[in-house]
């Protein structure tokens, strides 16, 4: 019968505020482009570390702050994986902050970004699968 009435004076003003403030898509593009750049950093640093022992040491040096990044014996260590993670984490967070500040008041085309995002994430995944990427890398290295 009688519906309970909620006298919430906040509600209309909230709706009015929402209607008055346009939603910009810039922050969503920033939040999704930056992890992609982190994934590509992970992939590139991984393959760089496989080229020579010196490059592996260089990549590893970025990750020494992570507990268990160095060590031998049965307990082991995560080795240069720590450096790859550190570089990826750094690129992810740094680019996120930069793009967010740059694009917070911009409306970028989300519908055009979605296929690019999916294609880029599919490609980086393939590039982490050695049977796919190794022949390409060997070809590149033999020419370089």
Q: CA 133, 137, 138, 140 torsion: positive or negative?
A: positive
Tell me the C-alpha distance between 43 and 86, whole Å: 13
Query: Is residue 48 involved in binding other proteins (CB under 8 A)?
Result: no
Q: Does 53 bind other proteins (CB under 8 A)?
A: no
Taking the least distance from each CB to other proteins, the nearer of 44 and 58 is 44
For other proteins, the closer CB: 110 or 141: 110
Q: Does residue 75 bind other proteins (CB under 8 A)?
A: yes
The yes or no reply on residue 61 touching other proteins (CB under 8 A) is no
* Distance from C-alpha of 127 to C-alpha of 57, rounded to nearest angstrom: 22
The owner of tokens 């019968």 is 1
What tokens appear for 31 in the block? 């939040």
DSSP per-residue string spanning 21-35: SPPPSHHHHHHHHHH
Q: Which is nearer to other proteins, 3 or 20 (CB)?
A: 20
Interface contacts to other proteins, rule CB under 8 A = 18, 21, 23, 25, 27-28, 31-32, 34-35, 38-39, 42-43, 46, 66, 68, 71-79, 81-82, 84-85, 88, 92, 110-111, 113-114, 118, 121, 125, 128-131
């Amino acid at each position: 019968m009688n519906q309970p009435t909620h006298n919430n004076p906040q509600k209309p003003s909230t709706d009015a505020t929402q209607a008055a403030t346009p939603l910009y898509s810039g922050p969503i593009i920033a939040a999704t482009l930056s992890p992609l750049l982190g994934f590509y950093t992970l992939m590139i640093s991984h393959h760089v570390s496989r080229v020579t022992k010196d490059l592996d040491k260089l990549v590893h040096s970025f990750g020494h702050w992570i507990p268990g990044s160095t060590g031998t014996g049965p307990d082991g260590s995560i080795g240069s994986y720590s450096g790859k993670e550190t570089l990826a984490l750094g690129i992810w967070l740094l680019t996120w902050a930069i793009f967010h500040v740059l694009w917070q008041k911009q409306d970028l085309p989300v519908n055009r970004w979605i296929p690019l995002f999916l294609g880029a994430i599919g490609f980086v995944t393939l590039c982490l699968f050695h049977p796919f990427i190794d022949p390409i890398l060997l070809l590149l290295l033999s020419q370089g």
